[in-house]
Structure 1
Amino acid sequence: MKNFIWNRDPQEAMDNPYEYEAQEQFRNESEKLVKALRKLIISKFSFKLNEKSTEKAIFMLTINALDSAFEIVQSLNNQSHRVTAHLLRTIDESIDLGVFFNSKSEKSERKVEKWFNDEIISHSDYRDYIKQKEGEEKFELERNNYRKISKFSHNSYKTLLYSYIKRSDEAIVHGSLYESGILIPVQTIAMYHAISGFYFQKIAFKMVEFKLIELEEMLNIMLDSQEENTIGRKFVMR
């Protein structure tokens, strides 16, 4: 994806938050991408109610991730961010659980059966699988990333602070103080655009890994989702 928002560092986005035109283009492209991916696999796959296959589990988890991605786009269109973090965690857990199920090990197959019996499968099962497959360094990276995204669901101080704006007198004011939207926390909105770009691409590439879509087909959908004239940076990076 050519628009720089798709591969933007979240901290850089907070430091340079005023790229409104590029963010709007990113949202338009994201909506096209998510809708196209969702439409394709819904038309391609069908499962019975009582079926308890790994393929069905992965399909349902992927649809859950795509639906969450679409809701994130709608939230960002409204310059709202509070729901976004929770939806990002939903994407993370859905796709990571899909990766674990897709390993088709004895352990994952037992967990698939438990999942269909409505038991909750811990994210640690995915991380243990990653540790075994890719080593300690990758395991630590995944664990740290999950801790960061989980803070939004556990109301940590810093995550709640994203809803506030600091005034010149150092007082903090909640972003919803005025209905006019004058206190929209633009740094936070910019950060979530950047984080969303990573997660939306994660869904697309994991769908290839899950064999829900061919790589060439997915790349063509990405290409078709791009607007003809890519909007570049308007402001110099700090």
Structure 2
Amino acid sequence: MEIFVVPTASATGSVAAGILAAVIRSKPDAVLGVATGGSPLPIYAALANHRLDMSSVRAFALDEYVGLPAGHPESYAEVVRREVTGRLHLDPANVAVPDGSAADPEAAAADYDAAIAGVGGVDVQILGIGHNGHLAFNEPGSALDSRTRVEVLTERTREANARYFSTPEEVPLRCITQGLGTILEARHLLLVVNGADKAGILAAALNGPVTADCPGSVLQLHPHVTVVADEAAASQLAQGSGQVAVRVSGAAASV
């Protein structure tokens, strides 16, 4: 596991984008797993500055709310369209998001899992981590080998996401999320974390026991994980077995 510690939150996006740019240059038809949320979104703005030809890149979103109408500005389909597809000039036909408006969400979840496998899997999966350790919408208690499925959001997650909606009541109760087992099948996991409020859960995920109580702890089971964290988020980390920590400062953090 590689851990890059950078001075500021904005620098995490730059460093993560540099890692992705190297992958895309070596594999122009790379399959990316894209995430939304406060920590991952700056990656796409930074990646756009690399001016890569991404016309053959394919992307799969991690999750989607169930029950929002098509075109809702806070649906992840719309966030991905604005922040990823448009910003990076991806072919919309190459970008997939779970169908949260499907008449049968469970079937849509199974179809989505199969679609990822059908393209040969994800090359690099971008991740953030929630305050309770969730990856995507895999809440505490999720099976470590879980597949893409319909999940009920915890109240804490709904409260955290309420800032994106007009009222807390508008936050959906359910979602479709890639499972932890699905995420672990990606060839490279890229976790981006910002802020002192994430320091405790990041330390638990990387240095604590592997347990369903902290879904992010499954990162310890993957052979190729890169963590990019600002100094505040990394403040409680202890370097463990198999972990290589690198501090990035100055111009190197803004390339």
Tell me, yes or no, whether TM beats 0.5: no
Q: What is the TM-score when the length of structure 1 is the normalising length?
A: 0.29
| Bigger proportion of residues as helix | 1
Greater Rg, structure 1 or structure 2?
1
Relative contact order (alpha carbons < 8 A, sep ≥ 6): 1 or 2 greater?
Answer: 1
Q: What is the TM-score when the length of structure 2 is the normalising length?
A: 0.28
| Bigger proportion of residues as strand | 2
